[in-house]
Amino acid sequence: MRIGIIGAGALGLYYGALLQRAGHEVRFLLRRDYEAITRGGLTVTSPEGDFHLAVVKGFRHPDPIGPVDLVLVGLKTFANDRLAELVAPLVGPQTAILTLQNGLGSEELLAAAFGPQRVLGGVAFLCANRGEPGTVHHLAQGRIRLGEFGGGLSPRAEQLAETFRQTGISCQAVADLKKARWEKLVWNIPFNGLCALTGLATDRLLCHAPTREQIRALMEEVIAAGNAQTLSSPIGEDFAEQMLTVTAGMGAYRPSMMIDRLEKRPMELGTIYEIPLQRAAQRGVSMPRVALLHALLALQAAD
């Protein structure tokens, strides 16, 4: 399969490297890492085994990448104003587009630009950070849940999930992408925001009982909002506890929004906070703690 990676941060580099190692032709749209990767290849460090790709097809611009079978989008959503522009040169008659971006709204943008029949979405439970140029550090996890933007469990989604599994990535095709998105927000909303505001990793927040209780309260607000969105089945009452347990196993993890803030980059406030708050309000659900967290993050972003 010919695969184009738009958004070669930690997520795009890691999954793209595994797909290339499994024999697929992968083409990366690169910015910061272009010189290092085109000269010296791409290195992945991982508790599952380090590896190095000596030859990697990297491009500064999307036009020479050309049409591919699959576009994998890992672009940070604060750059979604350029999403259609970056993806368009990679789209041919049979191209599928899979976005693994955070939050809500990216599938709708892609569907408007290229047609809903092309679009799949997915959520990645990945702990990974970029190292020096040409290096990505996989810390833990990596599983993906993906599905059709239009809903339903399609043969295409099943086949794509199997493609990922053959690379060593745990991947599940789901019939209800909307539910998968809201389940990921149950984690993303509290931990991305609180870690970004405090500068503390997830383990520090969890080991302090009052903070842990506020995290749970944030999660419960998100679950209530998600369950108001006509999901195929409700997010379970025990889901918050499951997420707390999973997070405890990550150790001192620094979420992407925390790193973005520390490195003075924009934060993904629109898709992780603003759109979910809007969709909750449309269903008559209030999320006061989430609204406060978003207001504080927006205040920090304005500085």
Contact 223, 186 (CB under 8 A): yes
Catalytic: 178?
no
Q: How far apart are the first and last CA of the chain?
A: 45
Q: What is the pLDDT along the chain (303 residues), one digit of tens a residue?
A: 999 999 999 999 999 999 999 999 999 999 999 999 999 999 999 999 999 999 999 999 999 999 999 999 999 999 999 999 999 999 999 999 999 999 999 999 999 999 999 999 999 999 898 999 999 999 888 999 999 999 999 999 999 999 999 999 999 999 999 999 999 999 999 999 999 999 999 999 999 999 999 999 999 999 999 999 999 999 998 999 999 999 998 889 999 999 999 999 999 999 999 999 999 999 999 999 999 999 999 998 887
Task: Report the distance separating Cα 303 and Cα 301, nearest Å.
Answer: 6
Which pLDDT score is estimated for 250? 87
Q: What are phi and psi of 60, to 5 degrees?
A: -80, -30
Contact 247, 212 (CB under 8 A): no
Domain 179-302 fold is: N-(1-d-carboxylethyl)-l-norvaline Dehydrogenase; domain 2 (1.10.1040)
From 57, 178, 184, 264, the catalytic residue: 184
State which CATH number among 1.10.10.370, 3.40.30.10, 3.40.50.800, 3.40.50.720 fits the domain covering 2-175.
3.40.50.720
Task: Report the distance separating Cα 212 and Cα 207, nearest Å.
Answer: 7
Q: What is the total residue count of the chain?
A: 303
Task: Report the distance separating Cα 148 and Cα 300, nearest Å.
Answer: 35
Which pLDDT score is estimated for 140? 85
Which pLDDT score is estimated for 79? 95
* Residue 219, C-beta contacts closer than 8 angstroms, at least 6 positions apart: 186, 187, 189, 190, 239, 240, 243, 244
Sign of the dihedral defined by the CA atoms of residues 248, 249, 255, 259, in that order: positive
Q: Which residue has the tokens 């599952």?
A: 48
Q: What are phi and psi of 148, to 5 degrees?
A: -75, 140
Q: What are phi and psi of 169, to 5 degrees?
A: -95, 125
**Within 13 Å, how many C-alpha atoms sit on residue 139's CB side?**
18
Which pLDDT score is estimated for 299? 95
Q: Delimit the CATH 1.10.1040.10 region(s) of the chain.
A: 179-302
pTM greater than 0.75 (yes/no): yes
